[in-house]
Amino acid sequence: MAENLANVLHEQLSEGFPDTHRNNSGEGADRRRVVEGADQELNGQPPSARPSQRLESEEDEDEELTLKYGAKHVIMLFVPVTLCMVVVVATIKSVSFYTQKDGQLIYTPFPEDTETVGQRALNSILNAAIMISVIIVMTLLLVVLYKYRCYKVIHGWLIISSLLLLFFFSFIYLGEVFKTYNVGMDYITLALIIWNFGVVGMICIHWKGPLHLQQAYLIMISALMALVFIKYLPEWTAWLILAVISVYDLVAVLCPKGPLRMLVETAQERNEPIFPALIYSSTMVWLVNMADTDAESRKKPALNSTTPESQASLRGADDGGFTTDWELRQQETLGHMESSEETRRQVQEMPRTSPAIQSDDSEERGVKLGLGDFIFYSVLVGKASATASGDWNTTLACFVAILIGLCLTLLLLAIFKKALPALPISITFGLVFYFATDNLVRPFMDQLALHQFYI
């Protein structure tokens, strides 16, 4: 189950632009990162009303705005990624449970404590191969389920996975933390704590909740998942898996027949909401349901709620997003009204009496990053801090490398404006810096510190 969640959370980066399609609702069940290019200018205005002479300066402005917002977006992602890594590293360094060898997962059956180096290498290659095939199979299964609209199955899968993470894994984590700090705790208090934590987490992630709370929960479950991986994956297997999964991410997102790319395209065709349980979003998804059928300005109501949307999309009818109960109530009180294309366009074209709420451009243009990326970044940094002979320099170097990789990925996103994988660049930098720092820089810095030479 945990592994299902893991590969379900394996994400890609993408960006939609308002004039091509609304990715707000856009992407599919799977993991993708969308940079929201919100079209404030199109808010409620029929497309024809836009004056054409402003197009050129708007384009320049858009480009510059993209760059200006680019720095902000990068920081909006730096902070949660940093927090997740800090939590993982702090846990690894203090709670010894996550560095103890207590067996391996069934997905990595070959042991790594063998006599010869060759045998160890072979075992780790086999382990990595098995793990990657499991991930590929799960991804394909998800694509198939999504294509054939088995949303209930996907929802059930996600709910079971988050239940497991929020209750069981956090229970184990809390238990180990108490053991480390020798805190005596009775089961009743513990049950209360875990129950509250888990239930609030389920509500925040799958339904509605304050944005920061939802972000905090997503960071926590990513950290928990990363800790599980760090504990149960032996060393060489872990590095190999990281390397192979970034190659897989690259292939799956960029190749025309890649499963993740197919998923993106299917979701864009259907204009369906993303499952919020798999994506970290840096802003509130402000979506107002004033739909044009050409899906240019399709938005949905407030606070990260996806259930109404998914219900609406399941029904497939163009009811303007109003549920049947609401409509019945309206008809009782106000007489027969209908939300049709006609009426909506008329409403939109009415002059506004109150000044339109100028929602902050920068707030609307949020960034999304898949939880799988959080997990694998944290696995890299956590593994580095666990196995690099107690050296903090390696951890620091990997941390900076991953942040720079993320920065470069977002820069490429701003340039290419299409779905991009977020793992390859960061993981490559991270791996290079891990091995280089551990083998080359560490002896150098140790010698310097010994003699107190400063460079």
Which residue ranges make up the site for other proteins (CB under 8 A)?
60-61, 63-64, 67-68, 71-72, 74-75, 78, 390-393, 396-397, 400-401, 403-404, 407, 433, 436-437, 439-441, 443-449, 451-455
Closest CB to other proteins among 67 and 314? 67
Q: Is 194 helix (H, G, I), strand (E, B) or coil?
A: helix
* CB 417 to other proteins: min, Å: 15
* CB 282 to other proteins: min, Å: 12
Cα-based torsion angle of the residue sequence 112, 113, 114, 117 in order, rounded to the nearest 10 degrees: 70
CA–CA gap between residue 142 and residue 154 (Å, rounded)? 8
* CB 135 to other proteins: min, Å: 30
Tokens encoding 50:
């836009």
* CB 241 to other proteins: min, Å: 24
| Amino acid in the structure at residue 286 | W
User: Under the phi-then-psi rule, with left for phi > 0, alpha for psi from -120 to 50, and beta for the rest, what region is 311?
Assistant: alpha
Given 249, 292, 319, 438, which residue is catalytic?
249
**Is residue 412 within 8 Å of 420, Cβ to Cβ?**
yes
> How big is the chain, counted in residues?
455
Q: Which residues pair with 420 in a beta bridge?
A: 13
List strand residue ranges (DSSP E) for 156-293, in order.
Answer: 279-281
* CB 57 to other proteins: min, Å: 9
Closest CB to other proteins among 348 and 393? 393
Is 39 in the active site? no
CA–CA gap between residue 197 and residue 184 (Å, rounded)? 19
Q: Count the alpha carbons within 13 Å of 70 in the hemisphere toward its beta carbon.
A: 18
* CB 84 to other proteins: min, Å: 17
- In order of 160, 185, 194, 335, 450, the CA distances from 178 in angstroms are 26, 8, 14, 62, 36
Closest CB to other proteins among 21 and 72? 72
* CB 394 to other proteins: min, Å: 10
CA–CA gap between residue 391 and residue 89 (Å, rounded)? 12
Is 373 in the active site? yes
Closest CB to other proteins among 110 and 433? 433
Closest CB to other proteins among 201 and 405? 405
Given 60, 186, 373, 438, which residue is catalytic?
373
Closest CB to other proteins among 76 and 135? 76
Closest CB to other proteins among 55 and 440? 440
CA–CA gap between residue 131 and residue 275 (Å, rounded)? 24
Picking from 406, 389, 392, 288, the residue whose alpha carbon sits closest to that of residue 24 is 288
Closest CB to other proteins among 257 and 451? 451
Burial 181-210 (b: 16+ CB within 10 A, else e): eeeeeeeeeeeeebeebbeebbebbbeebe
Vertex 79: Cα angle to 238 and 399 (nearest 5): 40
Picking from 63, 427, 118, the residue whose alpha carbon sits closest to that of residue 245 is 427
Pairing of strands 368-370, 279-281: antiparallel
* CB 56 to other proteins: min, Å: 13
Task: Supply the Cα-derived Rg of the chain in whole angstroms.
Answer: 24
* CB 404 to other proteins: min, Å: 5
Closest CB to other proteins among 357 and 455? 455
**Is residue 299 within 8 Å of 32, Cβ to Cβ?**
no
* Catalytic site positions: 249, 373
